[in-house]
Amino acid sequence: MKTINVPARDQVTEQNQHLFDNLKKMVGFVPNLYATFANSDNALANYLTLQSGKTSLSGKEKEIVNLVVSQYNQCVYCLSAHTQIAKMQGFTDEQIIEIRKADITFDTKFNALSQLVKSSVENKGHATPEIVDAFFEAGYNEGNLVDVVVLIGDKIITNYLYAITNIPVDWPLAPEI
């Protein structure tokens, strides 16, 4: 299989160089997965727009979606990155493992969210009716449901990009479960 290039700043368009500079300011470095998007003249900007869009979900809820989808898709890159981000959101190592398993014992509302995400990805969008009902019974609304689906789509994009490119992981590796 062809090796996919993780481009350096001087190998990308001027627009992508500007985005690299912003990422470096925000994250401290340009993660390889973002750099890989910059092989396209437009994909990095498009993805960052999607990722930074407004949502009704909290930072913790977003990380639950990111971790459950990435676990299902076995994306080592995204699991590693989002384990670090989940820690910044206040989750413990033990809670992160529960989230990845979509078996959350420390918060019933978060568990309903994780179950919806897991059922959605396992069934190609067709979450079971009981799990959708449990999501709403936990206190979520229709807008939250739509935002969950958008975030699942966001994470599938990065999971698939990593799966196809197998670029080096530049985050501390998430533990295997």
- Output the pLDDT for position 3: 77
Percent of the chain with pLDDT over 90: 97
Q: What per-residue string of b and e applies to 14-41 under the rule 16 or more CB within 10 Å gives b?
A: eebeebbeebeeeeeebbbbbbbbbbee
Instruction: Pick 59-165's CATH classification: 2.40.50.140, 1.10.10.10, 3.30.470.30, 1.20.1290.10.
Output: 1.20.1290.10
| Single pTM value for the model | 0.96
- Output the pLDDT for position 153: 98
Q: Is the pLDDT at 46 greater than 90, yes or no?
A: yes
- Output the pLDDT for position 2: 75
- The DSSP code for 107 is -
79-86 contacts at long range (C-beta below 8 A, 24 or more positions apart): 79/174, 80/169, 80/171, 80/172, 80/173, 80/174, 81/31, 81/33, 81/171, 83/171, 83/172, 83/174, 84/171, 84/172, 86/60
**Spans of all domains in the chain:** 9-51, 59-165
Reported confidence tier of residue 9, pLDDT bands at 50, 70, 90: very high
Q: What is the pLDDT of residues 108-133, one digit of tens each?
A: 999 999 999 999 999 999 999 999 99
Average pLDDT, the chain: 97
Q: Which two tokens stand for residue 142?
A: 């229709």
Q: Is the pLDDT at 150 greater than 90, yes or no?
A: yes
Q: What is the pLDDT of residues 57-113, one digit of tens each?
A: 999 999 999 999 999 999 999 999 999 999 999 999 999 999 999 999 999 999 999
The Cα–Cα gap between 112 and 134 comes to 6
